Amino acid sequence: MTVLEDVDALYAGCATEPNRWTDQAFADWSESVLATADLDKEVARYLRRIVNAARRIAAFWGSDDTPTDADEWRSRVDIALGARAWRPQLDLALHLLDRDGDEASFTCAAELFPVVMHQPFLDGIDYATWRDDPTWRSPRGSIGP
């Protein structure tokens, strides 16, 4: 499982089983991800922001007066925090894309960018075009020409 998949699993768990997410559960998740992920200071910083968002998601859905009509976990994240929940994951995906240039990071960024930024990611190009055409690489790597 990639660190981005781990984040999806965290958000899904917090949105669908909020009472399971105690301080110890968050600590265990963080320890597990930190032990398996190829970390640098930026990744660790984004993970802290992600855990903070996940705590708010769990608190929102753990409340007795929260509406429960949304079944899909992504919808539940949107109801709880909206784009603010997705911003740290997008930042992580962009960082990993800049650092590693892998397709999983590109796909995650392409999915989250319109949600957070309200515009298409890199004019809708695909991963192969991004990877093979250096004009799409800025000093930040993934932002485009």
pLDDT at 107: 95
Question: Within 13 Å, how many C-alpha atoms sit on residue 49's CB side?
Answer: 15
Does an H or E element contain 129, and which? helix 127-132
pLDDT at 144: 47
pLDDT at 143: 52
Q: How far is CA 38 from the centre of its chain?
A: 16
Does an H or E element contain 85, and which? helix 83-100
pLDDT at 11: 98
2's CB contacts (< 8 A; 6+ apart) are 104
pLDDT at 115: 93
Where exactly are the structural domains of the chain? 3-136
Provide the residue-wise pLDDT of the chain in tens; the chain has 145 residues: 789 999 999 999 999 999 999 999 999 999 999 887 677 888 989 999 999 999 999 999 998 776 667 789 999 999 999 999 999 999 999 999 988 889 999 999 999 999 999 999 998 899 999 988 877 765 455 454 4
User: Which tokens is 106 given?
Assistant: 């590109």
